[in-house]
């Protein structure tokens, strides 16, 4: 863990990295300016879910997490208890987010989500734990950070299971991310870097396997990733590059508090459900907002040239 007295000033998380790559303006509004209350930027800035699907995904993860904590204490949840707990958590999340979902639709989605949790437990990565087979294992909080080269980063696995002389680091994705395959793989590899830097786990890569269990719309897909020193270097390089961009964007946001010159979203799909949309120049359409921004930049460049001529 990072020493609070000596906390690095830069941080990296998948959420922050994906947001920056999707929309620099949204990133600057979320992470790019200092928050007086933040103990950790990632921890403190999680918004309420924007859609019912996002709410379900978060609740599935939260429910599964409680279930796994109890499993660690050898307390097994029955199907009825899991259903009660999940339904209760969905209803709580809906009222916290002031969101409504028609009853029948909600019941149908709850049923599907419960099935998803149940099938997850039958995956080859998790079944031995659920079946109580003798294994050393541990679970982690995704908000556990560690530090490398002055960067605080969040890349904890969900589980680490010791078997046949190696630790398998398991990451579970309740929804498939939309990022490219290569950047996803590099992000996953940061989990190994996280483990190497964490107390109580080995400090050499040959001690680890890396497994990703990902929901693919109707089924869980499991795959094991290669861990090699060059790939680890690439993953670290990707993180450092992101942090460089983030530092630059933060400076830009502080130099232009109106944020009017910051790049807007790469694609209008990112604007759908964006928390900052109401105050964004893209509220009436991304393409027009980009055009207006370009015209304003051209005008300001022309004025500068005239003044210096
Ligand atoms: S509405 Fe679109 S352009 Fe504006 S901040 Fe959100 S994602 Fe970025």
Whether ligand 1 lies within 6 angstroms of the CB of 26 is answered as yes
Which residues span the domain enclosing 141?
Answer: 45-235
Answer whether residue 49 is part of any domain.
Answer: yes
More confident residue, 44 or 237: 237
Whether ligand 1 lies within 6 angstroms of the CB of 276 is answered as yes
Answer whether residue 180 is part of any domain.
Answer: yes
Query: What pLDDT, on a 0 to 100 scale, did the predictor assign at position 48?
Result: 83
Query: What pLDDT, on a 0 to 100 scale, did the predictor assign at position 178?
Result: 67
Whether residue 8 is predicted with pLDDT greater than 50 in this model: the reply is no
Answer whether residue 258 is part of any domain.
Answer: no
For residue 244, report the distance from its CA to the centre of ligand 1, in Å.
Answer: 22
Predicted structure pTM score:
0.85
Whether residue 183 is predicted with pLDDT greater than 50 in this model: the reply is yes
CB 93 within 8 A of CB 52: no
DSSP character at residue 10: E
Whether residue 57 is predicted with pLDDT greater than 90 in this model: the reply is yes
For 206-262, what is each residue's pLDDT tens digit?
Answer: 999 999 999 998 899 999 999 999 999 999 999 999 999 999 999 999 998 899 999
CB 261 within 8 A of CB 23: no
**Number of structural domains found in the chain:** 1
Report the distance separating Cα 134 and Cα 120, nearest Å.
19
Query: What pLDDT, on a 0 to 100 scale, did the predictor assign at position 92?
Result: 96
Whether residue 179 is predicted with pLDDT greater than 80 in this model: the reply is no
Answer whether residue 156 is part of any domain.
Answer: yes
Whether ligand 1 lies within 6 angstroms of the CB of 265 is answered as yes
* % of the chain with per-residue pLDDT over 90: 72
Query: What pLDDT, on a 0 to 100 scale, did the predictor assign at position 180?
Result: 65
For residue 214, what is the domain's CATH number? 3.90.320
- Confidence category of residue 42, pLDDT binned at 50, 70, 90: very low
- Confidence category of residue 5, pLDDT binned at 50, 70, 90: very low
Report the distance separating Cα 298 and Cα 220, nearest Å.
50
Whether ligand 1 lies within 6 angstroms of the CB of 282 is answered as yes
Answer whether residue 308 is part of any domain.
Answer: no
Answer whether residue 158 is part of any domain.
Answer: yes
Answer whether residue 140 is part of any domain.
Answer: yes
């Amino acid at each position: 863990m990072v020493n609070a007295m000596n906390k690095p000033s830069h941080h990296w998380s998948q959420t922050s990295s994906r947001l920056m790559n999707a929309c620099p303006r949204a990133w600057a509004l979320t992470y790019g300016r200092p928050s007086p209350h933040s103990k950790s930027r990632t921890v403190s800035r999680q918004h309420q879910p924007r859609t019912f699907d996002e709410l379900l995904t978060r609740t599935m993860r939260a429910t599964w997490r409680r279930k796994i904590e109890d499993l660690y204490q050898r307390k097994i949840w029955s199907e009825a208890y899991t259903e009660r707990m999940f339904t209760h958590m969905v209803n709580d999340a809906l009222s916290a987010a002031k969101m409504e979902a028609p009853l029948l639709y909600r019941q149908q989605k709850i049923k599907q989500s419960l099935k998803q949790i149940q099938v997850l437990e039958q995956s080859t990565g998790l079944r031995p734990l659920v079946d109580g087979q003798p294994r050393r294992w541990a679970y982690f909080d995704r908000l556990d950070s560690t530090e490398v080269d002055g960067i605080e980063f969040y890349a904890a696995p969900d589980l680490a299971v010791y078997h046949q002389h190696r630790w398998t680091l398991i990451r579970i994705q309740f929804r498939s991310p939309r990022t490219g395959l290569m950047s996803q793989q590099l992000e996953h590899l940061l989990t190994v870097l996280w483990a190497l830097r964490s107390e109580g786990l080995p400090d050499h890569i040959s001690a680890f396997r890396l497994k990703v269990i990902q929901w693919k719309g109707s089924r869980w897909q499991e795959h094991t990733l290669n861990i090699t020193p060059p790939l680890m270097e690439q993953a670290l390089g990707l993180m450092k590059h992101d942090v460089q961009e983030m530092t630059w964007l933060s400076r830009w946001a502080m130099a232009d508090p109106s944020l009017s010159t910051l790049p807007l979203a790469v694609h209008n799909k990112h604007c759908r459900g964006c928390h900052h949309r109401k105050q964004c120049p893209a509220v009436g359409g991304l393409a027009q907002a980009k055009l207006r921004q370009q015209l304003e930049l051209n005008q300001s460049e022309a004025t500068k040239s005239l003044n210096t001529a």
